[in-house]
Amino acid sequence: MNGSQNFVETLKQEILEKDVCKSLRDSGAKLVFDDYKPDARIMVIGEAPGATEDREGKPFVGMSGKILREVLKNVGLEDKDFYITNTVKYRPPKNRDPKISEKQEFLPFLYREIKEMNPTLIILCGRHAMGHFVEGEISKNHGKIFKAEVLGKEYQFLVSYHPSATIYRKEVKKDFIKDLQIVKEILKKIN
């Protein structure tokens, strides 16, 4: 991996200086980023921070995060092996979906995260994350690998449901677990 430990702090500072998504920031939301993980081969992209994430300033640390981390652990990954981010870095008010304009404001920063982390595989959790890179419906795309170019380099994307969808829908949880089993196979091929 290229870059430095200051990468995440540099992005945070730039977002604050450029007043990116001022309306979300002004709603009292905290900027949410994962710690820099130079050895991470997997990148996970969700949609937006929830209440726990907003409080702690870290992505996927609430109930959805526990589900995600448990499934990733079961496929043989440790926390250092994956970097987590969101399409939007602030929590939208009342946990609403991020607006298209909000996702667009953060897109250049998401692209820079991808370039910096240079992951072997990017897991897209949910339709908001999927929509940046893959066309179609999540119900038809989940569990499949797609390729897309980001800043001049081609990456592999695995589409799956957002872990929050697994909380109330057992059939989605089964699909989510099955989708992420592919990660183990991909990593075996690389090693």
Q: Place 117 in a pLDDT band, splitting at 50, 70 and 90.
A: very high
Q: Token digits for 76?
A: 């043989």
pLDDT score of 17: 95
What pLDDT score does 156 carry?
A: 95
Above 50 in pLDDT, residue 21?
Answer: yes
Using pLDDT thresholds of 50, 70 and 90, give the confidence band for residue 1.
very low
| pLDDT for the residue numbered 27 | 86
Average pLDDT of 53-74? Answer: 95
Q: CB atoms < 10 A from the CB of 32, how many?
A: 25
pLDDT at 163 over 60: yes
Rounded distance, CA 100 to CA 135, Å? 15
- Evaluate whether 167 touches 63 at the Cβ level (below 8 Å): yes
Average pLDDT over residues 148-163: 96
Which range has the worst mean pLDDT, 15-29, 41-55, 79-93, 97-111?
15-29
The per-residue pLDDT for 186 is 80
Q: What is the pLDDT of residues 2-19, one digit of tens each?
A: 456 689 999 999 999 999
Q: Tokens 């390729």 correspond to what residue?
A: 147
The pair of three-digit structure tokens given for residue 113, joined into one six-digit string: 């995260």
Going across the sheet that includes 121-125, the strands are 82-86, 42-46, 121-125, 153-160, 145-150
- C-alpha dist (Å) from residue 12 to 19, 31, 109, 113: 11, 7, 9, 11
Which residues have CB under 8 Å from 61's CB, separation 6+?
52, 53
Q: Which two tokens stand for residue 63?
A: 């109930």
Q: 184 falls in which pLDDT band (50, 70, 90)?
A: confident
